[in-house]
A and B are shown apart, each in its own frame.
Chain A
Amino acid sequence: MCLVNEIGGVITVNYIEYLDTQEDLVSPGISACQGCAAELILRTTLKIMGRNTVLAIPPGCMAGAGCVGWNFDSGVKVPVHIPLLDNTASLLTGVKKVYEADGRDINVVAVAGDGATSDCGFQSMSAAAERGENIIYICYDNEGYMNTGFQRSGTTTMGSSTSTTPAGKEGHGKEQQKKDIPMIMAMHNAAYVATLSPSHMSDFVKKMEKAKSIKHGFVYLHILSPCPTGWRFDGKRSIEVARKAVETNFFPLFEVEDGRYTLNVVNKNPKPVTELMGMMKKFSHLSPETIGEVQKNVNRRYRLLTTLSEMKNDMEG
């Protein structure tokens, strides 16, 4: 990363020094849960996007935590709006069109939960991506509707005990596999698609910078956001959980730029998903068979990504 010093010289710094110089545009004391990864994601995102940004945060944890203003105080220091749960990408399309008509270059950013992204907001996002709207759509994936009490969503992992798929005598948690939104968005011919994790900040910052620099199409960033309250683990372990998700290939870090796939972290000897799933109580009821199903899905997905990234040189045409 580069910074410009007082006398106009360009100096190279690491991501920690870089983030340290950036303004924190989220008010202190927003009411997210202890150990919430989404809060860290939002703060870091805005540090990189800067003040020349407008933000849409649909209903979800970050809206509920007061980032769109709670009663008489605003939670962030850039223009922010809470769109409907299902129209974030369409609303931002209209905003961006006016800026484009006026010849203004402003970062138009969505920070949406997985429910607003993969479920009822999916139609409007899919269409905005297909049209190639130049907006930056960021999904913080905490695998469910967490601020309303952990109901399952399309991105909830198989076997998760949630308030709408509770484990019990007959129930074994969510019965379906996680919906793979970043891959679906890559297939929309988006200008840039990437997965990010708060455990890999250098990669995170690089991808966020890249997203900000893209002026010709739709950008989709999918960020894993471990949720201590809903997943039931100790709040101080959020980053550890996020790192384990990468190390087990449960959440591979990759990017897709103009159709070319790159695996950013290659695990030669990935750890078994049981190491991740064992860290939280939402999976504690699971049978070895269900864990095996999750592992199989993780392996299949990683093989697909490896193959796609190896095809890189053949994708030029």
Chain B
Amino acid sequence: MGKVIAITGNTAAAKGAALARPKVIAAYPITPQSSVVEHLAQLAADGELDTKMVQVESEHSAMSVVQGAVMAGGRAFTATSAQGLALMYEPYFRMSTLRLPMVMAIAGREMTSPETIWGGQQDTISVRDAGWIQIYVENNQEILDMVLQGYRLAENKDILIPVNICYDGFYLSHLIEGVNVPGQEEVDGFLPEYKQTHVIFDPEMPMAVDPMTPGELLMEYRKSHLEAMQRALNVLEDVDREFAAKFGRSYGGAVEEYKCGDADIILVTMGSMSGTAKEAIDIKRNEGIRVGLMKVRMMRPFPRKKIAEVLEGKRAYAVVDRNVCFGWNSGALYMEVKAAESDLESRVTSFPVIGGLGGADISLDHFLSVIDELDSCEKGGKSHECVWLMK
């Protein structure tokens, strides 16, 4: 039986990780992620968590240690933010392309410069093409639950891809919410011990791990990786169904729809802003505007088909990004949603919205004004200029 306690997002991530019983945890402290490492270190010090904690000197080493651990057949966990993720880019790419499954929690933070330590999605968005599965969550319960689901997804033999659980720095990492923490026995039933066989570093099964590989073979690896990514869209739904049966909580698949069915216009969000957005939807629906919310949960793989289905026949949509795409006057999610929408027979009018960078708030008023602007759009598929939520 689970127990409801009031904890921060970082504690939720740490508790999820501990329940997964990793053999090795390696992490380096960085704001706003630090309390994840601290909480795990305390659990180990109190004898409540049987794991090998490695207090590394950098995030580059954190990702390298967990790579070694998974290669040797163990389950591993780490967590980071922004500059730490940037520093670990080299082993991060290697982890996914060696198809080594694990979960890394990321308390999202804006990238420097200007110098900043506050929330944002620029860190994870900037590495969305490094081969990891990226799941963005809305609240602390979802952090804990998705760490557990993340291992099931990553370790599935048809997937074997590491998973990022991305949550907004400070807005979730330091926010206290009620979280149902499941019991160890329940979790053990859902998430059995992991046995790695496909890449193994073990004298009982000698192999050269990652010899120099010619282009023709390398392309086979990439193709197989991309195909496994596509399978992850369905496997996540299977894992979620099983999770729901066991724990009574469900998140659906890669996309969550909120009042989209009869909606005329659609707001698209990702991460913690979605809670405020839902409130704005309810207010505007009371005013008679038929607006719905599409919360994108998976950035990688990108749920292209599902997104196109939700947008089909709608008058207009707006995508709110907590990140920017340098070189496009929009955020990354907008670009990708628009690419998915292009699969439809007829265009849907749209515009990009950028807000909440560097920890700036995205307020209820912001969403209400975006919905008003969305409601003024005409059918016809012409995209509008980017709206910046600056005030």
Residues of A near any B CB (own CB < 8 A): 51-54, 68-71, 74-84, 86-87, 90-102, 106, 123-124, 126-127, 130-131
| A79/B202 contact (C-beta < 8 A), A84-B90, A97-B52 known | yes
Residues of B near any A CB (own CB < 8 A): 23-24, 26, 51-52, 54-58, 60-62, 64-74, 76, 90-91, 94, 200-203, 205-212, 214
Q: Which residue of B lies closest to A106 (CB)?
A: B203
Give chain B residues whose Cβ lies under 8 Å from the Cβ of A76. Answer: 208
Establish whether residues B52 and A71, one from each chain, have CB atoms under 8 Å apart when the complex forms: no
Establish whether residues B24 and A97, one from each chain, have CB atoms under 8 Å apart when the complex forms: yes
Please pick, from A70, A83, A100, the residue contacting B52 in the complex, using a CB distance under 8 A: A100
Please pick, from B61, B72, B91, the residue contacting A127 in the complex, using a CB distance under 8 A: B61
Establish whether residues B24 and A82, one from each chain, have CB atoms under 8 Å apart when the complex forms: no
Establish whether residues B212 and A71, one from each chain, have CB atoms under 8 Å apart when the complex forms: yes
CB distance from B339 to the nearest CB of A (A): 33
CB distance from B182 to the nearest CB of A (A): 24
Establish whether residues B57 and A98, one from each chain, have CB atoms under 8 Å apart when the complex forms: no
A52 CA to B90 CA, complexed, in Å: 30
Q: Which residue of A lies closest to B199 (CB)?
A: A81
Establish whether residues B54 and A93, one from each chain, have CB atoms under 8 Å apart when the complex forms: yes
Establish whether residues B206 and A68, one from each chain, have CB atoms under 8 Å apart when the complex forms: no
Can you sample 30 A-B contacts with CB below 8 Å?
Answer: A69-B208, A69-B211, A70-B212, A71-B212, A74-B206, A78-B206, A79-B208, A80-B208, A81-B210, A82-B209, A84-B90, A87-B60, A92-B68, A93-B56, A93-B61, A94-B26, A94-B54, A94-B64, A94-B67, A94-B68, A94-B72, A95-B72, A97-B23, A98-B72, A101-B51, A101-B74, A102-B73, A123-B57, A124-B64, A127-B61
A169 CA to B165 CA, complexed, in Å: 58
A99 CA to B55 CA, complexed, in Å: 18
Establish whether residues A74 and B201, one from each chain, have CB atoms under 8 Å apart when the complex forms: no
A61 CA to B73 CA, complexed, in Å: 29
CB distance from A296 to the nearest CB of B (A): 34
A92 CA to B71 CA, complexed, in Å: 10
Establish whether residues A95 and B64, one from each chain, have CB atoms under 8 Å apart when the complex forms: no
Establish whether residues A95 and B69, one from each chain, have CB atoms under 8 Å apart when the complex forms: yes
Please pick, from B61, B90, B94, B207, the residue contacting A79 in the complex, using a CB distance under 8 A: B207
Q: Which residue of A lies closest to B76 (CB)?
A: A94
Give chain B residues whose Cβ lies under 8 Å from the Cβ of A91. Answer: 64-65, 67-68, 71
CB distance from B87 to the nearest CB of A (A): 11
Give chain A residues whose Cβ lies under 8 Å from the Cβ of B90. Answer: 84, 86-87
Establish whether residues B68 and A80, one from each chain, have CB atoms under 8 Å apart when the complex forms: no
Q: Using A94-B67, A95-B72 as known contacts, list a sample of 16 further A-B pairs with CB atoms less than 8 Å apart, ordered by residue number in A.
A: A53-B203, A74-B208, A74-B211, A77-B206, A79-B205, A90-B56, A91-B64, A91-B67, A94-B64, A94-B65, A94-B69, A95-B201, A98-B68, A99-B72, A124-B60, A130-B57
Q: Which residue of A lies closest to B200 (CB)?
A: A79
A92 CA to B64 CA, complexed, in Å: 8
Establish whether residues A98 and B24, one from each chain, have CB atoms under 8 Å apart when the complex forms: yes
A233 CA to B206 CA, complexed, in Å: 37
Establish whether residues B203 and A51, one from each chain, have CB atoms under 8 Å apart when the complex forms: yes
Q: In the complex, which of the residues B62, B202, B206, B211 has the most CB atoms of chain A within 10 Å of its own CB atom?
A: B211
Establish whether residues B207 and A131, one from each chain, have CB atoms under 8 Å apart when the complex forms: no
Give chain A residues whose Cβ lies under 8 Å from the Cβ of B210. Answer: 68, 81-82
CB distance from B102 to the nearest CB of A (A): 11
Q: Which residue of B lies closest to A99 (CB)?
A: B72
Give chain B residues whose Cβ lies under 8 Å from the Cβ of A69. Answer: 208, 211-212
Please pick, from B60, B67, B206, B211, the residue contacting A82 in the complex, using a CB distance under 8 A: B211
CB distance from B60 to the nearest CB of A (A): 6
